[in-house]
A = this chain, B = another copy of it.
Amino acid sequence: MARAPRITVVEDEEALCLLLRYNLEAEGYLVETITRGDEAEIALRETVPDLLVLDWMLPGLSGIELCRRLRARRETGILPIIMLTARGEESERVRGLATGADDYMIKPFSTPELLARIRAMLRRVNPSLLLNVLSFSDLKLDREQHRVYRKERELKLGPMEFRLLEFLMQSPGRVFSRGQLLDNVWGPDIYVDDRTVDVHVGRLRKAINIGRSIDLIRTVRGAGYSFG
């Protein structure tokens, strides 16, 4: 499997939490589990995962309300959400979707089906997440082999440079602020200077723009960086 997409599970039943974590990690995802709705809202303000599995009933803040609030924010407006509902009444199903969940599962549900839905949804939102080889122009990044090529010629990247490039290549053209890059590439709990990003982008540039190649990384003054 490709580089792990991040999935956050918000579910108060301890047993189900463990089951989901076990299965999702077996599929190769990076999993974060949260048991309370209000805690989830705070956590999601920090970092946005690639997909959210959300229980309908939660202590602190109900799943449906959390969903509504997430949809109202730009950062999480299109975050894929799969809702877990206890009862299968149709009125509730419809309400769940109408609130902005992208899909729902009725408990008890089959784990393989949930995994299939997650895969389908991730592919729809950002196909790059599930690809093993990202390429753009004459640059190719192989996640499995941890190798990068520019025009058939292999490049030598440090670990940080590789991860930075990988992340940027997942959303070509999109501009990320230094804060976003630190969160997503360095990790949410790492506190380093914003300007460190500049240095690494510089190193990455030097590494991938061998010879006279055009610069594949764009600096957006006052905003951040983007690939392509």
Nearest to A158 among chain B residues (CB) is B221
Contacts of A94 in B (CB 8 A): 112-113, 116
CB distance from A116 to the nearest CB of B (A): 4
CB distance from A137 to the nearest CB of B (A): 16
Determine whether A121 belongs to the interface, using a CB cutoff of 8 Å to chain B: yes
CB distance from A123 to the nearest CB of B (A): 7
CB distance from A78 to the nearest CB of B (A): 5
Contacts of A174 in B (CB 8 A): 144-145
Residue contact A226 to B145, C-beta cutoff 8 Å: yes
Q: How large is the interface on A (under 10, 10 to 19, 20 to 34, 35 or more residues)?
A: 35 or more
Contacts of A97 in B (CB 8 A): 113, 116-117, 119-120
Residue from A77, A78, A147, A159 having most chain B Cβ neighbours under 10 A: A78
Contacts of A44 in B (CB 8 A): none
Residue contact A98 to B116, C-beta cutoff 8 Å: yes
A159-B223, A223-B146 are known contacts. Are A113 and B90 too (CB-CB below 8 A)? yes
Name the interface residues of A124-171: CB closer than 8 Å to any CB of B: 124, 127-128, 131, 144-147, 158-159
Name the interface residues of A69-98: CB closer than 8 Å to any CB of B: 74, 77-78, 80, 90, 93-94, 97-98
Name the interface residues of A45-86: CB closer than 8 Å to any CB of B: 74, 77-78, 80
For the complex with contacts A74-B131, A93-B116, A94-B112, 10 further pairs of A-B residues with Cβ separation under 8 Å are A77-B128, A90-B110, A90-B112, A94-B113, A98-B120, A102-B120, A103-B103, A145-B174, A146-B226, A158-B221
| A–B complex contacts, Cβ < 8 Å, 21 sampled | A77-B131, A78-B131, A80-B124, A90-B110, A90-B112, A93-B113, A94-B112, A94-B113, A97-B119, A97-B120, A100-B123, A100-B124, A102-B121, A144-B173, A144-B174, A144-B175, A145-B173, A145-B174, A146-B220, A147-B173, A159-B222
